[in-house]
Amino acid sequence: MLYGSGLRVSELVTLRPEQLDWEDGFLRITGKGDKTRYVPLGREAARALQFYREKARAMLIKEGKPTPRVLFLSNRGAQLTRERIRQIIKERAKEAGIDDNVFPHILRHSFATHLLENGADLRVIQDMLGHADLSTTQIYTHVEQKRLIGIHRSFHPRGRIH
């Protein structure tokens, strides 16, 4: 969901079931400054979330212990923490053979970069990320420009240095 919807970790750990719109495939997110935005829930994320909601979450609820109103629970039946999300991502990256320093925000960054690479308008990306200022979103264009320069240098006859 961090990658599929571009959520901040703090938004993920505080996500409540009533924020999901299954019918239209959107999440209602309250981000920084208590601003509400709507972000799409991708097909793969929706499938995984449906499984979690119907099967896995029930196994995490502890008998006789109050259950937090949040969607994602720890193995102790409590609200997941930002630190635990970071640990999970590092563990999964290691299992996948990724030795780079992987952290939760890189998934949000990848979400925005991939939208931009595939032609999404910068203002739409700004809205989905919940950035108040377009200049914050423009950081992602720098990555895209570097990639485009590299492609040009590699494949365009006039881009090659002789």
pLDDT digit string, tens, across residues 107-162: 988 888 888 888 888 888 888 898 888 887 877 766 666 766 776 677 766 666 54
- Calpha distance 26→14 (Å, rounded): 16
Catalytic annotation present for 55: no
Which burial class, exposed, middle or buried, applies to 111 when counting CB atoms under 10 A from its CB (0-12, 13-18, 19+)? buried
Which tokens sit at 57? 């979450």
Catalytic pick among 131, 146, 158, 160: 131
32 is catalytic: yes
pTM to 2 decimal places: 0.82
Active site residue 156: no
Q: At the topology level of CATH, where does 2-155 sit?
A: hpI Integrase; Chain A (1.10.443)
Domain definitions of the chain by residue range: 2-155
* Residue from 16, 32, 114, 153 carrying the catalytic annotation: 32
